[in-house]
Amino acid sequence: MSVPAGWYPDPSGRPGSRYWDGAGWSDAVAQDLPGQPQQVADAETAYSLPPVTPGGVPGAFGHPDLGAGFRTLGRWLTGLLFSYAGVGALVGLGAAIVLLIGRDGAVDITSLQSSEVIVQVFAVLNVIGGICNLASIVLWLVWQHRLASNGRVHPTYLRRSPGWHIGSWFIPIVSLWFPYQNVKDLARGLMAPVDRWGVGLPDDGPERGVATRLLPWWWLAWLASSVAAQIESGTGGGVSGSSAGASSLAVTSMSWVTVASGLDVASGVLAALVVLAMTRAALSPPGQPQFPTR
């Protein structure tokens, strides 16, 4: 597809427009002036153009074909994340039922929590959830590395190497924000033009940048679920007998199971939606953006 020369929204995310000479971006930039919107071409066309290279050097950038394998990878990852969220919903629902029955006083909550049926049900759900979680972690790392390494996203959008996209998940402290930045860089590159915060430009329509709008909420939910899981594991032991102290511990434990499970559901669903949106954008051919501007 040959894009005609003209002024287009600056793909670097800066306010204003940059001139496309038909083969690459020029150094000519201009601020949009009131009353002269006709000088700027439609943002949908600009979406298919390559980003500005460092220093504004003109140059074309191809969009490598990720192939059917990447579509399958995205589908499996999305399905696993939704499954993980579904298991979390069942665990949270079970914990809430135990709390409601125990608080009615008809059954002692410590006896209910330690009953063989309840223990077995939670054990099975935890195993299924663990399998879904482990499989989704592996597929997520493969999915993210392919996006960062195969050239579908222009390198000017990435602040770190593909190796760092994987390694940052496993480094203490750094893992609290580097992975989020890395995924945001990928989303910005797939759904450019965006502003410096990774959000679609105001006139890009409600669907442009859908993944970047979900990213902060997904990351907050993931961090919160990690904290809640640690608290839950710290309150899960030492519950025995039918004393008031044991009952209080049982209520606290089940309450945190409910909270942690709810956060698992939120983080799983949001992560699945992010993967779905970014995979569709990555597979969109140039000139046919997955997220329309109108």
**Is the pLDDT assigned to residue 59 strictly greater than 70?**
no
pLDDT tier at 55 (50, 70, 90 boundaries)? very low
Could you list the residue range(s) of the whole structural domain that residue 36 is in?
6-56
- Per residue in 150-209, pLDDT tens? 777 777 778 899 999 999 999 999 999 999 999 988 887 777 544 444 444 433 444 445
In a domain, residue 203? The reply is yes
- 55: which 2 tokens? 């220093």
pLDDT digit string, tens, across residues 113-157: 667 777 888 889 999 999 999 999 999 999 999 999 877 777 777
* Structure-derived torsion over alpha carbons of residues 79, 85, 88, 93, reported in degrees to the nearest 10: -110
Q: Is residue 256, in this structure, part of any structural domain at all?
A: yes
Model confidence pTM above 0.85 = no
> Are residues 164 and 263 located together in one domain of the fold?
yes
For residues 15 and 148, membership in a common domain is answered with: no
- 294 within a domain of the structure (yes/no): no
* Strands annotated E in the chain: 6-9, 17-20, 25-30
Beta bridge partners of 25: 20
- Residue 222 has, within 13 A of its CA and on its CB side, a CA count of 22
Same domain, 141 and 185: yes
Same-domain status, 145 and 191:
yes
Question: Is residue 205 in some structural domain?
Answer: yes
| pLDDT tens digits for range 192-221 | 544 444 444 433 444 445 666 788 999 999
**How many Cα atoms sit within 13 Å of 284 on the Cβ side?**
20
Residue 185 within a domain: yes
- Together in a domain, 11 and 147: no
- pLDDT exceeds 60 at position 293: no
In the chain, the number of structural domains is 2
Using the 3D structure, point to which of 16, 33, 56 is the last residue of a domain.
Answer: 56
230 and 271 share one domain: yes
pLDDT score, position 243 = 56
